[in-house]
A and B are shown apart, each in its own frame.
Chain A
Amino acid sequence: DVKVTQSSRYLVKRTGEKVFLECVQDMDHENMFWYRQDPGLGLRLIYFSYDVKMKEKGDIPEGYSVSREKKERFSLILESASTNQTSMYLCASSLGVLDTQYFGPGTRLTVL
């Protein structure tokens, strides 16, 4: 079974803090994704990566950056957290372009 793990299930941070969300997949998948889920808006793509050190902006990249130094790990970085970044963050991975995306359990981030 594919396993996608996220470093924290719940996180509380203060405005202006730098926040790191980590995601690890154990199936040698090429593609990795970061989404945020908000009520009434569904899942929106923040960034994705199709290879180590490669990244592409999704639909809402503002205020976020990412890092993929190793194939299995994809990090989402909030340089200076703001209250409007309070959300559920979901990481996903897929083997290839046409393949199913597998999701992690999510990190609920609250920014005070």
Chain B
Amino acid sequence: DQQVKQNSPSLSVQEGRISILNCDYTNSMFDYFLWYKKYPAEGPTFLISISSIKDKNEDGRFTVFLNKSAKHLSLHIVPSQPGDSAVYFCAARPFQGAQKLVFGQGTRLTINP
């Protein structure tokens, strides 16, 4: 039972355009959401997060949007750069105070020059 779903295994975007990665979740108790980025042969690195009390968080070229009613999360990268090519995982914390995170399946983003 996948509580956090990334339905697109891959996405290809032209350099300079916007990349939009999507994530859906089923558990309304999730209160904190994160995006991690993973290059081949490296561990995931934290990218950006958002609390359930917000609907948007921005950090440079990266913006995360949260739609609680739709149980939907998205990551926008503008403008996309070749170095953004990686696998992106969304993750959610089941409830406040929980140490564990629940991860999605990942989306492989390829930025084409």
Residues of A within 8 A of B (CB): 4, 9, 31, 33, 35, 40-45, 48, 50, 56, 58-59, 90-92, 94, 97-98, 100-106
Contact = CB atoms under 8 A, between A and B. Distances in A.
Which of A9, A44, A101 is packed against the most chain B CB atoms within 10 Å?
A101
Interface of B: 4, 6, 9, 32, 34, 36, 41-46, 49, 89, 91, 97-106
Contacts of B89: 42-43
B68 to A, nearest CB: 19
Contacts, number: 58
Given A48-B99, A48-B100, A41 B105 contact: yes
Q: Which 5 A-B pairs have the closest CB atoms?
A: A103-B43, A43-B103, A42-B105, A42-B103, A100-B46
A84 B36 CA distance: 26
A79 B19 CA distance: 43
